[in-house]
Amino acid sequence: METVISRLRFRKKMQKYGAVGSITVRNNFAYLRSFFIRSWFLLVILFIFVQLWRITYQGEGSPVISGYTYEQMIWYLIFAESIILSSPRLSVKIEEEVIKGDVGYQLTRPMSYLLYHYFSYMGEAYVRLGINLLLSLRAVSDSPTLFSGMRKTSEISS
């Protein structure tokens, strides 16, 4: 019986943090302009690095450099940059709370300060990661003029 009660308490606590994550997701969609500016910045970075790697593979004259094909390098680049640009600035949020004095208010809430920020962070990161991956994969696959060379490795060596 005691286990059932502790499970119910745990579920109830996790519902609070799930609500924090859900609110963070909704807040991200409320500020679409800044959200898409960050996502467009990802496309600029991808364009520059895709061109850099295309020239590198062409200059090398080999379809494989250090065991990686051009496509593998671009896939790595897409996922690495999407993950890096998806991470929210948690340190800036906490710094602002300390400067404004909101940290005292946050600590008096009936929830863990660390778990609150963790779920807030994850809610924001999941949304950004999903959008960044969709945007970058679509841009690379649908725009052969901007991201040339993604179709075939054999085109690189010619």
For the stretch 115-153, pLDDT in tens is 888 888 888 888 888 888 888 888 777 655 445 544 444
pLDDT at 142: 65
pLDDT at 157: 45
pTM (2 d.p.) = 0.68
CA distance to 33, 50, 66, per residue, from 123 (Å): 18, 29, 37
Q: What is the mean pLDDT of the chain?
A: 80
pLDDT at 1: 67
Backbone dihedral angles phi then psi of residue 112, each to the nearest 5 degrees: -70, 130
Structural contact between residues 148 and 53, judged by C-beta atoms closer than 8 angstroms: no
